[in-house]
Structure 1
Amino acid sequence: MTLAVAFDSIYTGDRCSCAMLSLKLRMIRAIHSQLRRRLLAASWAITLTMLACSSPPAPQRTDTDPVADTGADRTIALGTTLVLDGSGSRDDDDDPLNYRWSQGQDNPESFVLGSEAVIEIAPATAGPYLFVLTVTANGRNSEPDTLRITVAGSDNTPPVAVAGLDYALPIGSNFFLDGTSSSDADGDSLQFLWEPVEASAMVTLVDSSAAQTRFTPSGSGSFLFRLTVSDGQSTHTDEVAIVVTGAGNQPPVAEAGDQQTVGVGLEVTLDGSASSDLEGDPITYRWIVGNNPGEVVTLSDSTDAMPRFTPNLVGDYVFGLIVEDATSESLLDTVVIEVVDQVYSARSGMIEIPAGSFLMGSEAGLAGESPVHVVNVSTFWIDSVEVTAAEYAVCVREGACDTPGEQPDCNFGLTERDDHPINCVDFAGATAFCGWAGKRLPTEAEWEKTARGPNDQRRFPWGDEDPTLLAMQDPDLRLLNYNNLLGATASVGTFGDGKSPFGVHDLAGNVMEWVSDRYNPDYYAVSPLSDPQGPSSGEQRVARGGHYLAIRDAATVSVRNRVQPDGRVPVLGFRCARTDTPP
């Protein structure tokens, strides 16, 4: 700011000039005072700005788990529509919620549950029902919240709504909704209500209260209609899906594959590869996870024709598949995966391993474990545990087997170790015992399929989890005898938590096991596709699995140990196999 005051006159001694000078001096003082106030204000503004700029950064956000809320347990009348309402769930970080409903195994009937906050279902059977809600926000899962519903019976039989078959037609066709197959066992008159649940375009219903009506879509897309029928006391609902295609375009057809029965813990591959488009247009895949026994299921890729998942609970897993071409989508096709406790037979201490293919070897393993290759193995039976010292002693007493090594840590002849695996046995001794017992040594391929299971590339018999980390999380877990845990062998079958998908014990620890194959580090590159028997020549033999002194990386299902056939060491034992069914 520039201060300029022009003096027109100076003091000359006359009164007028003095008055003028006095007035101008007062003006100078006022302007100076105003200037000081403005400079002071500007100084404070600069100071406050500097303080704001030098303030510490806001603390990082600490994410919290969301909270699932299904509301209060309640009782409803049979025939009443049940509303599962999870809209009271919350996330204190205000992240969007994803909803996952599941239902109890013992419910009187099951339903296909969606992933919405609010779901309506119509129980047709009286009894107690259990529903579970888990919500997810920003990758964090809530604790599950349970809802118990009692459906009380009555003398009235609820009606049955039938909304008709799903179908697809090009735009411009006559689109009918037909609920005339709905019924009431008591002969009561029915009232009907049609409602669009999902619509890709605007729809106009001719009469939403008629048993049979017609609708007009404003464009192509997928449409889902719900039919509710009432006999005045109870209601029941059913839904129908209709695909409206563009003019001249035929919708693709989804094929979700055949129903499968698998063992719990085994990887499952869903197969939508038979899906097609009549006009040969490229199609994309969209898999939908439906009802399951009560876990969060994540597919390897929900847009792949053949995604994978691993079920951890026994029960039915339902999946839906929709395929799309450039202008329309298919009707939903579903497949049920039945998961059971075991998919093998047990007899005379042996386990049946069913015929089928698996991936053998490892690209991340030790020498000789690659390449990974497909192997088809015929049905065979294998001992559920390693041959014990007591069993081998019988063969020695009968003169069919030679006495094994008896150096320190060998189990033969020690009564307190009768139920431990026989060790210190060479290849000839193991072969002789299996022949005496009416069996044989397993091949390398048979042994690995037993340890790995039929459908995955697991690292250990129980899965991919590191045994050291699992033991830290659960000290009571009994996976394997390795890494000098006990300093010696253990009774066979002691480490039950580490059994293979087929229920076979001690394949990762205790003692490594003779198999019938000779050793060649390059054999996997030339191995035949079906029932490989190993190289035709070679001095060394193969022993599979870890042992009680082995480190973690030597206890995998793919590790191959090369051993001289006359080796009699405390860490080496065996189990037997056979091709036919045991007596």
Structure 2
Amino acid sequence: MIKIPGGSYIIGTDHADGFEADNEGPRLTVVVPTFWMDETTVTNAEFAKFIEATGYVTEAERFGWSFVFHYFLSEETRMKSQLVPNMAWWYAVAGADWRHPEGPDSTIEMRMDHPVVQVSRNDAIVYCNWVGKRLPSEVEWEIAAKGGTNNERYPWGDEEFILAGKHRANIWQGDFPGMNTKDDGFMNTAPAKWYEPNGLGMYQAVGNVWEWCSNPARIDLEKFQTTTSEEIWQTYQQVDDTYYATRGGSFLCHYSYCKRYRIAARNGNSGMSAANNLGFRCVK
């Protein structure tokens, strides 16, 4: 884990980069105590140790299906799956779970150092309690993602996404959603510890996988001026299907569709949902 010094920080953005409904601003100042954050998202190897020690069965496994983006389905799996209404490009895939992220004919055998995916927020809570940690609040996540800077877009700066011709995050390149050129080296997830970390040592703060947070989605940023992250965790640790915050964007983000691969970008998902681009990291 990496140490995030306590103090006064500016969060949010006044730029019109995102979507009005995401409630990304206005910028404001918050004060937080020192906390520790995982340098990477929880990996398949780490999650496997948890499963082996506890026998826990994830929600996707109990439900018998989960969400998978069309691009990663074999033709055989696609024919057996159902396109999700009002969710373009997503399929409900029987047998998709953390061991089989893209369906029953997929495997994590060669991806043990990649982020675990197909994990609901409820699953993440159980993991956090087992390991003696918790999910970060959005304010903790954003402060850590800044890496000791005042940046609002990317840990390496606010101007160029590709800096000096070098990719620093895993998002979609090419023609979304039909063709990925893999210019950054990856079509799917990248190893959790891959591109250069930010100034505090946090790996892949943007891109790769969405990361669950502890608070409900899109609450006013002012809430973080009056409520501590510990209080948020205690209030919202229950298992339910409320919409909760997710941060960081994923390998499916593209400038033409989802511009949320930025530090200040906000999103959310239902607490019982899992998908092949959704993971988490812990704090304490």
TM-score by length of 1: 0.36
Counterpart position of 2:228: 531
Give the Å deviation of 1:539: 2.4
**Structure in which a larger fraction of residues adopt strand:** 1
Counterpart position of 2:79: none
- Taking a change above 3 Å as real, the CA distance of residues 495 and 457 of structure 1, as seen in their structure-2 partners, is closer
What does 1:297-446 align with in structure 2 at a 5 Å threshold? 350-364=1-15, 365-366=17-18, 367-399=22-54, 401-403=56-58, 405=60, 412=99, 414-446=108-140
Ranges of 4+ aligned residues in structure 1 off by more than 4 Å? 406-411, 532-538
- Contact 1:376–1:530 (CA under 8 A) maintained in structure 2: no
Q: Which string of whole-angstrom CA distances, capped at 9 and with x for unpartnered residues, describes residues 280-302 of structure 1?
A: xxxxxxxxxxxxxxxxxxxxxxx
The residue identity in structure 1 corresponding to 2:273 is G
Helix, strand or coil: the match of 2:190? coil
Paired positions, count: 221
- Taking a change above 3 Å as real, the CA distance of residues 395 and 357 of structure 1, as seen in their structure-2 partners, is same
2:194 counterpart (471, 494, 502): 494
Counterpart position of 2:151: 457
Unaligned stretches of 5+ residues in structure 2: 73-96, 100-106, 173-179
Paired with 2:119 and 2:52, the residues of 1 have a C-alpha distance of: 16
1:546 counterpart (240, 243, 249): 249
Counterpart position of 2:168: 479
Give the Å deviation of 1:400: 5.3
Give the Å deviation of 1:460: 0.7
- Contact 2:11–2:28 (CA under 8 A) maintained in structure 1: yes
Unaligned stretches of 5+ residues in structure 1: 1-349, 579-583
- Taking a change above 3 Å as real, the CA distance of residues 516 and 577 of structure 1, as seen in their structure-2 partners, is same
RMSD, aligned α-carbons = 2.4
Give the Å deviation of 1:526: 4.3
Counterpart position of 2:273: 567
- Contact 1:517–1:542 (CA under 8 A) maintained in structure 2: yes
Paired with 2:281 and 2:223, the residues of 1 have a C-alpha distance of: 27
Paired with 2:3 and 2:222, the residues of 1 have a C-alpha distance of: 28
Q: Which string of whole-angstrom CA distances, capped at 9 and with x for unpartnered residues, describes residues 456-502 of structure 1?
A: 1331111113224x2xx42xx24001015322111111112xx2221
- Contact 1:401–1:433 (CA under 8 A) maintained in structure 2: no
What does 1:67-466 align with in structure 2 at a 5 Å threshold? 350-364=1-15, 365-366=17-18, 367-399=22-54, 401-403=56-58, 405=60, 412=99, 414-466=108-160
Confirm or deny that 1:557 pairs with 2:263: yes
Confirm or deny that 1:516 pairs with 2:205: no
- Taking a change above 3 Å as real, the CA distance of residues 400 and 361 of structure 1, as seen in their structure-2 partners, is farther
Identity of aligned residues (%): 31
- Contact 1:426–1:568 (CA under 8 A) maintained in structure 2: yes
- Taking a change above 3 Å as real, the CA distance of residues 508 and 455 of structure 1, as seen in their structure-2 partners, is closer
- Taking a change above 3 Å as real, the CA distance of residues 358 and 511 of structure 1, as seen in their structure-2 partners, is same
**Structure in which a larger fraction of residues adopt helix:** 2
Give the Å deviation of 1:562: 1.3
Q: Which string of whole-angstrom CA distances, capped at 9 and with x for unpartnered residues, describes residues 308-365 of structure 1?
A: xxxxxxxxxxxxxxxxxxxxxxxxxxxxxxxxxxxxxxxxxx1011111111111114
Counterpart position of 1:242: none
